[in-house]
Amino acid sequence: MSYEIKQDGKFKFIEEGNGEPLILLHGLFGALSNFQFLIEHFRQTNKVVVPLLPLLDLDLLHTSVGGLQKFVQRFIEHRNYENIHLLGNSLGGHVALVHILKHPERIKSLILTGSSGLFENGMGDTYPKRGDKEYIRKKTELTFYDPAMATDELVNEVFEITNNRMKVIKIIALAKSAIRNNLGEELSQIKQPACLIWGNNDTITPPFVAKEFHRLIPNSELHFIDKCGHAPMMEVPEEFNKLLDQFLAKFKTPAATV
């Protein structure tokens, strides 16, 4: 299923369906394909919005979690979204957290899956030589419980990014920014209900990270999915969508009885 990429000013995004906005923020190597099952399911009940985050298009000074948060803020204000359910995976979760701490007023709920912001295993101490496709394949496979999820198409997407020197510099800048921008006790300031959906086999932001988010975010609920890695909405979409359905149902206005 492919969706029309809309343009409004300098913002590119997907917007499908009607209802309260469900805004999806992808991760460092994320793409719109990460969310295809989410979009297809929730466009029946919500206005599903996926902004294309300028991960590799910001100038180096603003290639950071803070720079991405400012972009998201400008996008939300430009489109005038209200009562937002904000969902982030991996680095996108980190951006969502910084956003809700700085600009809570338009956000109705928060959904995190495999989010950075407290701890994450990155690329390790060494970065691959450009052209090392096998290294990229192995790293991509680590995102999932089932290595077969790292399709040739997905590996090629990541390989293309890492084969460009400036893009690699920006990826490293974003990864370092995420590690430096550790939120910790600040998370106790989040007032909105939060839903944490985590893969039990996530090796990038392991289960203990989810438990710490749950401890620190006051009004949060935590769900683990077995046989699932760092991107539950891709790897086990039916189970992920069911959990998110149950969470979002709490915000529905009951039908008036006659």
For residue 154, count other CB atoms closer than 10 A to its CB: 21
At 130, is the pLDDT very low, low, confident or very high (cuts 50, 70, 90)? low
pTM of the complete model: 0.92
Residue with tokens 């359910």: 85
For residue 80, pLDDT over 90 is answered with yes
Q: Where are the domains of the chain?
A: 6-249
Q: What percent of the chain has pLDDT over 90?
A: 67
Q: Is 94 exposed, middle or buried (0-12, 13-18, 19+ CB in 10 A)?
A: buried
Phi-psi label, residue 127: left if phi above 0, alpha if psi -120 to 50, beta otherwise: beta
pLDDT reported for residue 124: 45
pLDDT reported for residue 95: 97
pLDDT reported for residue 164: 86
How far apart CA 87 and CA 109 sit, in angstroms, is 9
**What number of residues does the chain have?**
258
168-221 pLDDT tens trace: 889 889 988 988 888 988 999 999 999 999 999 999 999 999 999 999 999 999
pLDDT reported for residue 1: 62
At 129, is the pLDDT very low, low, confident or very high (cuts 50, 70, 90)? low
pLDDT reported for residue 209: 96
At 250, is the pLDDT very low, low, confident or very high (cuts 50, 70, 90)? very high
Taking domain 6-249, whether its CATH number is 3.40.190.10 is answered by no
At 93, is the pLDDT very low, low, confident or very high (cuts 50, 70, 90)? very high
For residue 258, pLDDT over 60 is answered with no
pLDDT reported for residue 140: 87
Alpha carbon 21 to its chain centroid, in Å, reads 15
Q: Which whole number is the average pLDDT over 153-162? A: 86
pLDDT reported for residue 223: 98
Q: Is the dihedral of CA 162, 163, 167, 168 positive or negative?
A: positive
At 16, is the pLDDT very low, low, confident or very high (cuts 50, 70, 90)? very high
